[in-house]
Every structure is written in C-alpha cells, then in structure tokens.
C-alpha cells in the first residue's frame, strides 16, 4: 500500500512504503512537520504530529506551509490552548537536535534548514504568545530573553560573520506554527530584500 501526501498546493503524491514498516494512510506534509492521519480511532487520536526531514519533500515551501496552517485552523487551535509541534518538542514527546536550553527557552535545529545553520528558538511557556502581533507588555521579558539567547546561540555556532533573525507573523508572514519562534539563520551570505 503506498503512502500518499497532500502537498498543500493542490497536488497529491504517493510512493511505495518501505518493507516491514507500518505506514499511515495519508500524510499531509506541512513544513516543518508532517501530520499523519492514522487509520481508525477517534478524531482526537487520529492526528499525530511528527518531525520530518523536508529538504527532499515536495513541500519545503514556507508559503505553502503557511497556507496549509491557515487551512487547518492552526492559529485558532493554538490560541485555544491546543498543543503545537513546538509544545511536543519542549516536552520531548517529539525528538529534536537541541543546541541550547535554559528554564525559559529551547533552541533546536530546523528540520528544513534555509542555510548551513538554521536554528529555531522558542519560549517554553507560550503564555498566549502565538505570534508576535499578539505580544503584550507582559511578554517583554521573554521576547528580550529570546533575542539575547539568539545572540548567545549565534556565538556558540560561530556565526561571527553575521546571521539573520526572522519572525514570521500570520499567513502573509509565512507563519506555519502558531507558537512564537525566532529563526536564526547563518553560515552563508544573506540576500536583500529578504523576500
């Protein structure tokens, strides 16, 4: 039985499953995650969020990922308190390549890097901060801590020639996970305008 995925651009692709591996029925590729619809079970158990190596994926495009997130009401679900993939990474339910961790922030390598170094920095407590445009005065400390941590991680990664910090906000900003996060990208010459 082949594995089928919906690429978010209206196309559907499939490939043969590997021998001896249990494969789900349908996979929605959604950078930087894959949503797997398992056969059977009630709807609350059917969705399982998994990390995926998406560089070779048919949908490594952030615009398509943001459209897919909007189509699946990711923003509203996150604002209602539903767990995001980042919450599951924080709880270690989903493995990641952690490069830095303290009491408030977790930094890990992006599964779909846009440069030789691409690290995601997230607050461990979302506190209603699903996106930057939702920031309030009470978020000032964690937002500052994210920035200082980004500088610390950049030094750790030896990005002394420079780096870029990116915050995607909302569908037009290509936000695909509604848990505020910074992208730390470096190790190559950046272009301007950014996109």
Pairing of strands 26-30, 2-6: parallel
Structure tokens at 165: 């910090």
Catalytic residue positions?
A: 181
Q: Are 3 and 58 in contact (CB under 8 A)?
A: no
- Look up residue 137 and give its DSSP letter: G
DSSP 89-147: HHTTSS---EEEE-SSEEEEE-SS-SSSEEEEEEES--TT-SSGGG--GGGHHHHHHHH
């Amino acid at each position: 039985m082949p594995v089928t995925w919906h690429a978010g651009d209206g196309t559907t692709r499939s490939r043969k499953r590997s021998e001896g591996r249990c494969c789900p029925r349908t996979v929605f590729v959604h950078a930087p995650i894959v949503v797997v619809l398992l056969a059977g079970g009630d709807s609350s158990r059917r969705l399982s969020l998994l990390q995926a190596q998406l560089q070779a994926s048919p949908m490594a495009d952030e615009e398509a990922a943001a459209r897919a997130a909007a189509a699946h009401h990711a923003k509203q679900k996150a604002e209602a308190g539903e767990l995001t993939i980042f919450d599951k990474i924080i709880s270690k339910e989903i493995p990641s390549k952690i490069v830095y961790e303290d009491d408030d922030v977790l930094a890990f390598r992006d599964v779909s890097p846009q440069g030789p170094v691409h690290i995601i920095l997230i607050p461990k407590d979302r506190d209603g901060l699903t996106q930057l445009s939702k920031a309030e005065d009470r978020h000032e400390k964690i937002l500052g801590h994210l920035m200082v941590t980004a500088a610390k991680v950049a030094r750790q990664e030896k990005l002394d020639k420079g780096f870029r910090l990116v915050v995607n906000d909302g569908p037009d900003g290509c936000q695909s996970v509604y848990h505020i996060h910074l992208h730390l990208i470096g190790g190559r010459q950046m272009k301007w305008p950014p996109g």
